[in-house]
Structure 1
Amino acid sequence: MAITSANQLELLQTAEAVAREKMIDPALVIEAMEESLARAAKSRYGAEMDIRVSIDRKTGKATFTRVRTVVADDELENYQAELTVEQAKQYMENPQIGDELRDEVPPVELGRIAAQSAKQVILQKVREAERDRQYEEFKDRVGTIINGVVKREEYGNVIVDVGRGEAVLRRNEKIGRESYRPNDRIRCYIKDVRREVRGPQIFLSRTAPEFMAELFKMEVPEIYDGIIEIKAVARDPGSRAKIAVISYDGSIDPVGACVGMRGSRVQAVVNELQGEKIDIIPWNEDAPTFLVNALQPAEVSKVVLDEDAGKIEVVVPDEQLSLAIGRRGQNVRLASQLTGLDIDIMTEAEESARRQAEFEERTKLFMDTLDLDEFFAQLLVSEGFTNLEEVAYVELDELLVIDGVDEGTAEELQARARDYLEEQNRKALEHARELGVEDSLVEFEGLTPQMIEALAEDGVKSLDDFATCADWELAGGWTTVDGQRVKDDGILEKFDVSLEEAQNLVMTARIQLGWVDPVELEGEDDAEEDALAEGEEAAAEDEA
C-alpha cells in the first residue's frame, strides 16, 4: 500500500475517527501514524538510517525525510545517520556540530507485514494516549464520590464502568453483605488512582470513613457550605458508625442539622450504607468531654486523661459497663478510633478497689521506709503524699498541716526520708559500678543514681553509649502496628522522664562529647523561629 494522493485525506479522516472514538487529541493519532510510517521506511531503506515522516495536518500528505547529524570526527559511528564536518561541507556552508542535513526520500509502499506492524504501532500509541487521558481525568478526583455501573465480578472484586474507564471495587472495600449483578448502579468513593504498566488503576471503596463524610456533605447543605465541619469519622462498615461534627454558627445545631427533619438526611446516608447505624456526636476540643460524648449512649462517671501516653481511663456505673463496651467491644472501639485515644473502661467498683490498693501500697511504703505506724502512714497518704521524695524535700509547712505533726516531728520525718534515699542512692551507684558504668556517665548532670543503675542494667555504661540513645528509648512511647497502638517501654520511663526531657539530656550529652556544635544548634533554632514567625505573618496578611 503506497501513500498516494488517493488515500492522503483518508489518513486524516481515520485519525479524526479514532480520536473521536477514544476521546483523545487527533494530533496524537497522527503522531502515531508518523512513527509507524517511519518504522516501515526504516525496514525498507535500512534500520541504521534516521528516517522521519511528517504528515501535513491539512492535506494529509506524508513526507519522508532522511536526517543526518553533524558530529565530531572521533564520534562518527553510524555512517547512515551521521557525517563529519568535512563531509557536511559538500552540502552546506559553514556546518557546525549538531546541525542536521535533511534529504527527502521517495515514499515507501507498505506490504502486508509492514502494514500490520504500522497498525500495531498506531494501536499501541492510541492505547497509551487513552491511558494518559484517563489518568489525568481521574487523578484529581481522588477523595470524591462517583456513580458507576457494575460490569462484572472477578474473584470477589467488582469491576465498575465509570464512564471513560473501568474502576475496581475490591472485596475488602465492599460492605459485608452487599452483592451486585451486572448493570446494577453503584455509588463509591474514589480512594486511589495509580499509574501502572497495564494502565491507570482506579480503586474504589465503600468502607472508607471518608465515603460516609462525603455522603453527609451531599445530604447536608450546611456541611457543603462550611458552616458545619466533620471533624472525625469511625466506622464498622455495614454495622455501626460514629461521626463527630462541629458548627461554626452558634444558631445552628450540628447534630440536628445532620439528622434533618424527621431524620430524613441521616436516613438517606443510612440507606446508601445498607442500614449502617450512625451515631452523630458533637465534637469538643476538650478530650475528656469529647470522649464522654463519643461513648454515648453509655453514661460516664469519671474520666482520667494521660496525655503523654495518649491513653484515657473511663469510669462507668456497674450497670452501664456492657453498654459502654458494646457488642463485641464495638462501642468502645469506635469511640477510640474517633478520639484517637486508648480507652480503658472500668466500673466504679473496680476503680474503688484500685484506689484502695494504691492507698494500701503507699501506706506500706511509708511504714517500711520511715518506720511509722499504720495510722501515721495513712495520714501521710491521705494528705496526698505518694513517694519518699515528696516527704524529704517538701516545704516544712506542708507537713505541719497534718493533725498531730509539730515542727520536731516534721523534721524527724524529713531526716528519715533523706537518710533512706541517700542509702538507696549509694547502693544503686555501687551496683552500677559493679556493672561497669564509667565515671563519664556518673558525673553527667541530670541523671540520678537510680537512673544510672537502670541504664547500666540495659547496657548503657558510658556517656558515648548514652549519647547514641534515641529519646523514645529513654522515655518510652507508642507505635501504631496494624492499626493497634503498641507500647514501647523506655529505660527511664519508670522515673517519669518525659520525651522532651529525654531529648534535652541526649542533646546535652552530644554537645559535651563534641558531636554537636551548640552554635549551629542555636542557628537552627533561630531559623525555625524565623520560619514560624514568617508563617504567622503570612497568615495574618491572608486574614487581613
Structure 2
Amino acid sequence: MAITSANQLELLQTAEAVAREKMIDPGLVVEAMEESLARAAKSRYGAEMDIRVDIDRKTGKATFTRVRTVVEDEELENYQAEFTVEQAKQYMADPKVGDTYVEEVPPVEMGRIAAQSAKQVILQKVREAERDRQFEEFKDRAGTIINGLVKREEYGNVIVDVGAGEAILRRNEKIGRESYRPNDRIRVYIKDVRREQRGPQIFLSRTAPEFMAELFKMEVPEIYDGIIEIKAVARDPGSRAKIAVISHDGSIDPVGACVGMRGSRVQAVVNELQGEKIDIIPWNEDQPTFLVNALQPAEVSKVVLDEEAGKIEVVVPEEQLSLAIGRRGQNVRLASQLTGLDIDIMTEEQESQRRQAEFELRTKLFMDNLDLDEFFAQLLVSEGFTNLEEVAYVEVDELLVIDGVDEDTAGELQARARDVLEAQNKAALDNARALGVEDSLVEFEGLTPQMIEALAKDDVKTLEDFATCADWELAGGWTTVNGERVKDDGALEPFEITLEEAQTMIMTARVMLGWVDPTELEGDADEDDAETDGENAEEAEA
C-alpha cells in the first residue's frame, strides 16, 4: 500500500488515540511515526541515504525528503548523504561547507516487512516516552506514601499498579508474612525511584522506618503542621517499634498528641502495620536522659556515657534486666537504633563486681610499684588516684588531704612514683630501639616512650611511617558494617588519645617532612574559625 493512497488524517487519529491511551504527548507519537516511515524509506532507497519524513500536524500529509550535506573534499565518506562544494554547485548557488540540500522524493510502498518494522519503531518510541513520563512523575515522590492496586505476586515480590505504571514491593520490604491477592488495595512507601535501562524502577517498602513516620504525619495534624517533630524511628517490622518525638509548642504534649483520644491516632498506625506495637518516646537533647526514655518500660538506675566511642553503659536493677533487654534483645536493639549508641546493659550487682575488680587492680598497682601496704594503697584509690602519673605529678596539696599523709610522706610517694615511671620509660624506649625505631620518631614531640614502643610493635618505626598513618589507625574508631558497629583498634588507643589529637600529630609530622605547606593549614584553620564564628553569631541572633 502506498502511503499516498491512505487516509492521511488516519495517521493523526492513530497518534491521538495512542497518546490518550498511554497518557503521553501526541507529538511524540507523530515523531515515532516519522522515524518509522523514514526507516522504511531507507530500506527502499538505500540505507546510506539521509531520508527524512515530515508529517503535517494539521493535515496528516507525509512528505519524504532526501538531505545531502556539503563537506570538505577530504572529509567526503558517504556519497549518498554528502557531497563536495564542487558537486553541490550543480544544485545550489554559492554552496558552503555545512550547507544542506533538500529534495523531495516519491513516497514508498509500505510492504509487509517495512510495515512491521515501522510498527516496532513506533512501539519502541511510545514505550520510551511512557517511561520518561513515568520517571518524571515519580522522581519527586520518593519519600511519600502512595495507594496502589496489587496486580500479581512473583517469587514473593509484589507488583503494584500505581496508576501511571507498575512498582515493585520486594519480599524483604513486606511486613512479616504479608500476602496479597490480585486487586487488593495496598498502602506503601516510595523508597526509591531509579532510571534504569529497562525503564524507571519504582521500589516500594512497608518496613522502612520512614513509612511509619509518614503514617504518623497523616494521622497527627500537629506533625503535618510542624508543631511536633519526629526525631528518630526504629522498627522491628511487624513486631515492635519506637518513635521519638518533640514538641515545638510548650503547651502541646508530643506523646499525648501522637497517641490521640483513647489511642485512636496510634491505633490507626498500628492497624496499618499489622499490629506492630509502638512505643512513643519524648525526645531529649541529653543523650543519657533520652536513652532512659528509650529503654521504657524498663527502669534504669544509672547511665555512663562514652561519647568518643559512641558507647553507653546502662545499669538496671536485677528484676528489670530481662525487661530492659526485651525478648531476643528487641528492646535494647531498638533503643540502640533510636539513639545511635552501642548499649551495654548490666545489673547493679554486675556493676558492683566490676567496680570492685577495678578497685583491686588499682590497689595492686600501687602496692607493687610504690611498695605500699594494702591499706595505704586503698586510701590512694579511694581518693580517686588511678595511675602512677597522677601520683607522681599531682599537686602536693591533693596528697595531703589523705589521712596520715604529711609533706615528707607525700614527697616520698611522688619520688617513688617518678623513679618507677623513669624505669618504665627507659625499658619501653630500649625495647622500641631493639624493634628498629629510628631517632626521628623517638624525638617527635608528643609521643611517650610507651607510645613509641606500641607504634614499633605496630610496625611504625620512622617519622615517615607515622606521617602516613590515618587518625583512626592511631586513636581507633568505629565502622558500620551491614548495620552493625564494628570496633577499629588503634595503635595508641590504650593511651586514650582522641581523633583530633591524632590528626594534629600526623599533620605536624607531615609538615616536618615537608609534605604539607604549613601556610595551607593556617588558611584551613582560619576558614574553620570563620565558619564557627558565623555559626555562633547565628545562634546569638536566634
Judge same fold: TM > 0.5, yes or no.
Answer: yes
Q: 2:4 is paired with a residue of what secondary structure?
A: coil
> Hey, what does 1:377 align to over in structure 2?
377
Aligned counterparts, 1:4-19, within 5 A: 4=4, 6-19=6-19
Give the Å deviation of 1:533: 6.2
Q: Distance in 1 between matches of 2:150 and 2:517?
A: 63
Matched, 1:220 2:225: no
Q: 1:95 to 1:535 in 2, by over 3 A?
A: farther
Give the Å deviation of 1:122: 0.3
- Asked if structure 2 preserves the Cα contact closer than 8 Å seen for 1:442 and 1:452, the reply is yes
> Hey, what does 1:67 align to over in structure 2?
67
Matched, 1:45 2:45: yes
Corresponding letter in the other structure for 1:210: E
> Hey, what does 1:488 align to over in structure 2?
488
> Hey, what does 2:32 align to over in structure 1?
32
Aligned counterparts, 1:83-482, within 5 A: 83-482=83-482
Greater displacement, 4-13 / 139-148: 4-13
Q: Distance in 2 between matches of 1:196 and 1:278?
A: 37
Q: Distance in 2 between matches of 1:531 and 1:25?
A: 49
Corresponding letter in the other structure for 1:9: L
Q: Distance in 2 between matches of 1:2 and 1:535?
A: 74
Corresponding letter in the other structure for 2:362: R
Give the Å deviation of 1:524: 3.0
Q: 2:3 is paired with a residue of what secondary structure?
A: coil
Matched, 1:521 2:521: yes
Q: 2:249 is paired with a residue of what secondary structure?
A: coil
Q: 1:535 to 1:29 in 2, by over 3 A?
A: farther
Give the Å deviation of 1:534: 6.8
- Asked if structure 2 preserves the Cα contact closer than 8 Å seen for 1:324 and 1:331, the reply is yes
Corresponding letter in the other structure for 1:446: G
User: Matched residues, percent identical?
Assistant: 87
- Asked if structure 2 preserves the Cα contact closer than 8 Å seen for 1:76 and 1:83, the reply is yes
Give the Å deviation of 1:94: 2.8
Q: 1:115 is paired with a residue of what secondary structure?
A: helix
1:120-143 deviation per Cα after TM superposition (whole angstroms, max 9, x unaligned): 100010011101111111111110
Give the Å deviation of 1:531: 5.8
Aligned counterparts, 1:505-544, within 5 A: 505-530=505-530
- Asked if structure 2 preserves the Cα contact closer than 8 Å seen for 1:5 and 1:61, the reply is no
Query: Which contiguous aligned blocks of 4+ residues in structure 1 show a shift greater than 6 angstroms?
Result: 532-537
Give the Å deviation of 1:3: 1.9
Give the Å deviation of 1:115: 0.7
Corresponding letter in the other structure for 2:401: V
Give the Å deviation of 1:93: 2.9
Q: Distance in 1 between matches of 2:123 and 2:171?
A: 33
Give the Å deviation of 1:201: 1.2
Task: Give the structure-1-normalised TM-score.
Answer: 0.97
1:216-250 deviation per Cα after TM superposition (whole angstroms, max 9, x unaligned): 00000000000000000000011100000000000
Q: Distance in 1 between matches of 2:148 and 2:433?
A: 72
Corresponding letter in the other structure for 1:198: R
Q: 1:5 to 1:522 in 2, by over 3 A?
A: farther
Greater displacement, 286-295 / 164-173: 164-173
Give the Å deviation of 1:520: 1.8
Give the Å deviation of 1:5: 6.2
Q: Distance in 2 between matches of 1:360 and 1:97?
A: 95
Q: Distance in 2 between matches of 1:535 and 1:106?
A: 73
Corresponding letter in the other structure for 1:167: A
Number of matched pairs: 542
Alignment root-mean-square deviation, CA:
1.5
Q: 2:149 is paired with a residue of what secondary structure?
A: strand
Q: Distance in 2 between matches of 1:248 and 1:447?
A: 49
Give the Å deviation of 1:186: 0.6
Q: Distance in 2 between matches of 1:109 and 1:241?
A: 68
1:402-423 deviation per Cα after TM superposition (whole angstroms, max 9, x unaligned): 1111011101100000000000
Task: Give the structure-2-normalised TM-score.
Answer: 0.98
Q: 2:63 is paired with a residue of what secondary structure?
A: strand
Q: 1:4 is paired with a residue of what secondary structure?
A: helix
Q: Distance in 1 between matches of 2:72 and 2:383?
A: 94
